Chain A
Amino acid sequence: MSQTLSGRVLIVEDESLVAMLLETILEDMGCTPVGPASTIDEGLALATGAEPLDAALLDVNVAGRQVFPIAEALKARGVPFVFSTGYGESGLSDEWRGHPTVQKPFTEAAIRDALMKAMGVENA
């Protein structure tokens, strides 16, 4: 696990403390956090905006709404992403089942593995 990641990673997470944790973890890994977005609208604006993105971490439930529109936008743009959820697999709709996911609460290793898996899947 000595491998380092780099690049700009979008964070969509409605709880500021959790978002701060993700920022800290990403910075420690050598990534640059983008956002964090606390709403779907804000996240969509960043996901479809001009700023370059290398990956994204998406909370499934954002202030009572599901994050899947942002996932669609990122997929269309070819940006790999990882879901984060407290619901487990059952929180994902059938369409996204099996996609790289981290469970809350998460470890730095879990986020790194999931991001690498997502990026690897995309590059394959």
Chain B
Amino acid sequence: MTSTETDLAAALEASPNAYFIVDRDLKFVWANAAYLAMTQRSADDLIGTPVFEAFDAGPGAEAPENARQLRASFEKAFATGLRNDIPVIHYAIPLPRADGLRAYEDRYWSVVHTPLLRDGVVEHVLQYAIDITELERLRRSAARELETSAASTIDAIVGGTLLSGARTVQADNARLETERQGLMDLFMQAPGFVAVLSGPDHVFQIHNGAYAQLIGHRDIAGKPTREALPEVRGQGYFEFLDTVYATGEPYEGRASRVQLQRTPDAPLESRFLDFIYQPIRDARGGVVGIFVQGHDVTETVRSTERQKLMIDELNHRVKNTLATVQSIAMQTARSHPDPGTFAEGFQARLLALSHTHDLLTRSHWEGADLADVLSHETIAHGPHRITPIGPPVALGSAAALSFGMIFHELATNAAKYGALSGPEGRVLVDWAIANQTRPVLTLTWRETDGPPVSPPSRKGFGSRLIERNVRHDLAGEVKLDYADDGFIAEFSVPLDFGRS
């Protein structure tokens, strides 16, 4: 031995910590006073004895496994030339009782095996053993009382890995990894969008498929939110994130509108989102990130808007129709001072309006064919007395309603004073479409074989209604001609009026 080694050996001998040295056969070659005192053995007893003969781990069910674990650690130190630790090992040793006999006592140890090399070869291993039995008992009783905080504090004292041996840690790690992967899969495949942001700049750590789809599959991983989604600046969302990070209070948005660049170089697209920003806290309770979770509710919001529009439109039509009916009532009353004839005239006009409504309902208010409108309004006067001649003409709903009223007034007038008042009279209605680029409908109502015609002394509601309807509602022109041999009405109406 060199003098340095002699000094070292003396230091170890005098150390209050327990040390011993084994050779490659795991036999004691040396043990210090502290070790002999701790195990209550003499040097003569131990030197030259195999470790596992002197200490066989006792009779318990776990004993063989405990011995195997300790042996493995020695062997590893010999084989690798590297230090090997067992943070905690359960190992009973025989200790003398009051009666002088030895009995096994349960002990917990923390051991360190240090290889001692000569010429690069491991000849011996030094064991440094600490009896942690009291500590371990304390920890176990604390854990039993579910005082996990106390337990974890002690865990921390003993090095954090005290809870389980290396093998259990490994098994736990594998289980945790499986769980983590399972959660990750759930997260990635969740139908709603999910993202995890970290730090005060809200850096994207993870985001799932739904989130990627929402923002148009941009590369955002590892980027601060303001940099990843620049178009969102000024829409309030970055400020909400800052507030959640600063206050630790979650923020929830309902049907919240956001403008996103979902396609490069395309205009921003509006989406409506239900979402929550939830703070993520570390073990000490400080906010370290934000969990973003939500759903794209754009379709729901749009269909609600459509529904509201439809109800508004329905209301508008109903109210306008009521105003129309009100007008018919008022105007009819003025030209029929007698209540009996008023009721007749008013009802006939209401029915005329209703007939055209029926026609329009069939086409979901998209329009009606001119010939259909004509026959609906005049059929009551006999199917063969009115002859329609002309091509199919699709009328928009407003034009159909106007022509319905017009044909009704013409037929009523003809039945009262014109061709339909006698048995022989007939009406020829012919029409054509002129100017194909901006189509104009020209239509002639021509009465024949009726009684002699004379112009009315004053304009009745019927003829005023016709003239106003054509000029006002149809932006067209009409000429009423009270010719001797039969009344003629000539119409000229642009067909694209009122359509986009």
Flag if A105 contacts B498 (CB, 8 Å).
Answer: no
Q: Give Cα distance in the complex from A61 to B323, angstroms.
A: 14
Q: Does A18 contact B (CB under 8 A)?
A: yes
Within 8 A of B (CB), among A76-108: 85-88, 90-91, 103-106
Determine the chain B residues whose CB is within 8 A of the CB of A104 once the complex forms: 319-320, 322-323
Flag if B475 contacts A24 (CB, 8 Å).
Answer: no
Partner of A16, one of B334, B472, B498: B472
Determine the chain A residues whose CB is within 8 A of the CB of B51 once the complex forms: none
Given the known inter-chain contacts A17-B324, A20-B465, A24-B330, please indicate yes or no for A38 contacting B473, CB distance below 8 A.
Answer: yes
Partner of A20, one of B317, B318, B319, B327: B327
Given the known inter-chain contacts A36-B472, A38-B473, please indicate yes or no for A21 contacting B327, CB distance below 8 A.
Answer: yes
Q: Does B257 contact A (CB under 8 A)?
A: no
Q: Give Cα distance in the complex from A87 to B322, angstroms.
A: 13
Determine the chain B residues whose CB is within 8 A of the CB of A15 once the complex forms: 320, 323-324, 473
Question: Which of B318, B320, B402 counts the most A-chain CB atoms under 10 A from its CB?
Answer: B320
Partner of A38, one of B320, B323, B405, B472: B472
Q: Chain A nearest CB: distance from B356 CB in Å?
A: 13
Within 8 A of B (CB), among A36-74: 36, 38-39, 61, 63-64
| Interface residues contributed by chain A, number (CB under 8 Å) | 25
Majority secondary structure, B binding face? helix
Flag if B323 contacts A18 (CB, 8 Å).
Answer: yes
Q: Does B225 contact A (CB under 8 A)?
A: no
Q: Chain A nearest CB: distance from B259 CB in Å?
A: 22
Flag if A105 contacts B323 (CB, 8 Å).
Answer: yes
- Bitwise interface map of A from 2 to 22 toward B, beta carbon under 8 Å scored 1, else 0: 000000000000111111110
Q: Give Cα distance in the complex from A39 to B398, angstroms.
A: 14
| Interface residues contributed by chain B, number (CB under 8 Å) | 30
Question: Which of A18, A20, A24 counts the most B-chain CB atoms under 10 A from its CB?
Answer: A20
Flag if B468 contacts A105 (CB, 8 Å).
Answer: no
Given the known inter-chain contacts A104-B322, A105-B322, please indicate yes or no for A18 contacting B315, CB distance below 8 A.
Answer: no
Flag if B323 contacts A21 (CB, 8 Å).
Answer: yes
Within 8 A of A (CB), among B62-108: none
Q: Chain A nearest CB: distance from B366 CB in Å?
A: 15
Determine the chain B residues whose CB is within 8 A of the CB of A85 once the complex forms: 316, 319
Closest Cβ neighbor of B470 among chain A residues: A16
Q: Give Cα distance in the complex from A42 to B468, angstroms.
A: 15
Closest Cβ neighbor of B322 among chain A residues: A105
Determine the chain A residues whose CB is within 8 A of the CB of B334 once the complex forms: 24
Q: Chain B nearest CB: distance from A100 CB in Å?
A: 18
Q: Give Cα distance in the complex from A61 to B319, angstroms.
A: 12
Determine the chain B residues whose CB is within 8 A of the CB of A90 once the complex forms: 312
Partner of B465, one of A14, A16, A36, A38: A16
Flag if B323 contacts A87 (CB, 8 Å).
Answer: no
Enumerate 28 A-B pairs (CB-CB under 8 Å) in ascending A order.
A14-B473, A15-B324, A16-B465, A16-B468, A16-B472, A17-B324, A17-B405, A17-B465, A17-B468, A18-B320, A18-B323, A20-B327, A20-B464, A20-B468, A21-B330, A21-B331, A24-B334, A38-B472, A61-B316, A63-B398, A64-B500, A85-B316, A85-B319, A86-B316, A87-B315, A87-B316, A88-B315, A106-B323
Q: List the 6 closest A-B pairs by CB distance, nearest first.
A: A86-B319, A21-B327, A16-B472, A104-B323, A17-B327, A104-B319
